[in-house]
Amino acid sequence: MNAASVLAQGNHAGVVITFFAVFVVGLLLISLLDASETDTPRRFFVSGRRLSSARNGIALFGDFISAATLLGTPGLIALAGFDGIPYLLGPIVAWAVILLLIAEPFHNTGRYTVGDVLAHHLRPRPVHMALGLATLVISLLYLTAQLVGAGALAAPLLGISGVVAQNFLMLFLGVLMIIYVAISGMHGATLVQCFKAAFLLVASAFLALLVLARFGWNPSDLLGAAADRSGVGERFLAPGARSQGGTADKLDGLSLQLAAVLGAAGLPHLLLRLGAVPTARAARRSVQWTAVLTCVFCVTAGVLGFGAAAVLGPAEVMNGNTSGNTATLLLSDSLGGSVLLTVMSCVAFATILAVVAGVALAAATSMAHDIYGVVIRKGRATESQEVLVARVSAVLIGSAATALALWASRVNVSFAAGLAFAVAASAVLPALLYGLYWRGFTTTGAVWSIYGGLICSVALAVLSPAVSGTPTALFPDMDFAVFPLKYPSIVSIPLGFVLGWLGSVLSRDKPHPAARAAFERRVLAGSDTS
């Protein structure tokens, strides 16, 4: 029996709906009370740069942890054992990269977007245009993944089935996202993220404690029981226990891990939040808060994964979902009954809402500031115009993402999310790192890097087995898969860095020494002292 059947039989779908409705209505009311007709871009995009490091760090954690992480990672560990551990380490390494290389210099040089960082010493319009387009592609991919996952998860948990029901839920969440972002901006998104983060940590930690109590608070007994029920014995706790496939599958796994580790440092909604605190030191502390919370959550997710293997066994986990995505919910029902299952279902819904709000806000910010404010209006847009365009953009982007989710409801959620990370790591991260640390970086190098990484990652994904040529592909009846890997990161990320270097070396527009020197002083001091 799967988690959906338990909810339906226990008549707890109504409880889930009621709880989630109260949560949504409460947050919307708070947003309406806090909304202002005179919002400035600074307040709407980055909450006036007045958030504390602790609050922003908690919200940043809420922005980062998606429902796929909450449900998918424990399920992967329950099925693959030790081979699932790298998926826990990836987020921790990602925050180390952001902390050491990006947090403080980005805050010191950025206003809202990555384009603001590069515009200090490069030609503004080309880099803002390129990064604006890259942000829209990343955001649409990530939003589509979240909405498709929401429909697939929510419909059975609410005791309904069928494509129409899933589409209705995707449409509902899409409309909710549009309303929430258009009304409240960063301030409201922060409220959602903080609530979601606290709810997520408390609920998952409580479930992990139940797992440990089941095995006498002895992690060794927990791992031993997981190995015994795995069907492969002690090999479950060693690399390669369930390794299948050939070289292509191994390269696919490596490519996905590379995107997970490096892509987070280029995700627009995470970078936007680095500017919501008053100082660079506070930005660094925000990331430290997020890194600590991520470590806590990853440990908890590991306990849940091995707990699902020990309590349920891989066979029962796969019976609920072949990818293991319902392992956490099945474990909740086994240890805490339908009440705990209901709580974890509500956590999953809150997680989805929080993530889509943050991503949609970043996309709206880029549309209003990068494309409209800098490219179209050439920096002459008023503050009220930028906020209005941001709100209209939230409606347009949310509608587009919802339409894509309805059309591509067959798409694999992990593939869409992994592609978003791959585009961020291939198109945004190389330009950002070069712009911060290489004196020879030029506008041509930035444009080559951004467009090259974007086009390469998307093109290879379209030509991959995830889109055509396999029964589970988006177009199963067609076959134009000439690239053997599902995830393009292993090719597109190095290409993004190479193109950035090559474009800078070959370009005729050389860096202006004075502008670069002023930029470096700003990176170090947080202000232009020239």
Q: Nearest-CA neighbor of 154 among 164, 165, 138?
A: 165
CA atoms within 13 A on the CB side of 280: 20
Average pLDDT, stretch 128-153?
87
Residue 407 has pLDDT above 60, yes or no: yes
pLDDT in tens, 287-320: 999 999 999 999 999 999 999 999 988 888 887 6
pLDDT confidence band for 498 (50 / 70 / 90): very high
Q: Which residue has the higher pLDDT, 211 or 79?
A: 211
Mean pLDDT of 229-246: 74
Reference 402, options 167, 68, 181, 67; nearest CA is 167
- Of the pLDDT bands very low, low, confident and very high (cuts 50, 70, 90), residue 530 is very low
pLDDT in tens, 351-394: 877 888 889 999 999 999 999 999 999 888 888 899 899 989 98
The answer on pLDDT for 277 being more than 50 is yes
**pLDDT for res 12:** 56
Q: How far is CA 80 from CA 38, 196, 371, 396, in A?
A: 53, 28, 44, 40
pTM of the model: 0.89
* CA-based nearest residue to 290, from 62, 120, 112, 467: 62
Is residue 108 within 8 Å of 525, Cβ to Cβ?
A: yes
CA distance 287 to 104: 10
Percent of the chain with pLDDT over 90: 38
Coil/strand/helix, residue 39: coil
Residue type for 469, please? G
- Both structure tokens of 351: 């997680």
Over residues 342-354, the mean pLDDT reads 79
Q: Going along 130-225, which residue ranges are E strands?
A: none
Instruction: Single out the residue of 276, 427, 294 nearest to residue 362, CA to CA.
Output: 276
**Which of 12-21, 69-78, 458-467 is predicted least confidently?**
12-21
**Bridge partners for 449 per DSSP:** none
Mean pLDDT for the chain overall? 84
Question: How confident is the model at residue 323, as a pLDDT?
Answer: 67
Q: Mean pLDDT, to the nearest integer, of 203-224?
A: 92
Greatest extent of the chain over all pairs of C-alpha atoms, in Å: 70
| Contact status, residue 143 vs residue 425, Cβ threshold 8 Å | no
The lowest-confidence range among 91-105, 173-187, 491-505 is 173-187
* Residue 8 Cα to chain centre, angstroms: 30
Phi, psi of 475 (to 5 degrees): -120, 80
pLDDT tens figures, 464-490: 888 888 877 778 888 888 898 888 999
State the average pLDDT over residues 64-71. 80
Residues 158-169 as b or e (16 or more Cβ within 10 Å = b) = bbbeeeebbbbb
What distances in angstroms separate CA 451 from CA 126, 263, 437, one per listed residue? 11, 16, 20
Contact 447, 506 (CB under 8 A): no
Distance of alpha carbon 271 from alpha carbon 443, whole angstroms: 21
φ/ψ of 468, rounded to 5, equals: -150, 160
309, containing H or E segment? helix 280-311
Q: What is the DSSP letter of 437?
A: H
Half-sphere exposure of 10 (CA within 13 A, CB side): 20
Nearest-angstrom CA–CA distance, 497 and 490? 12
Distances (CA, A) of 167 to 170, 253, 400, 403, 410: 5, 31, 14, 10, 11
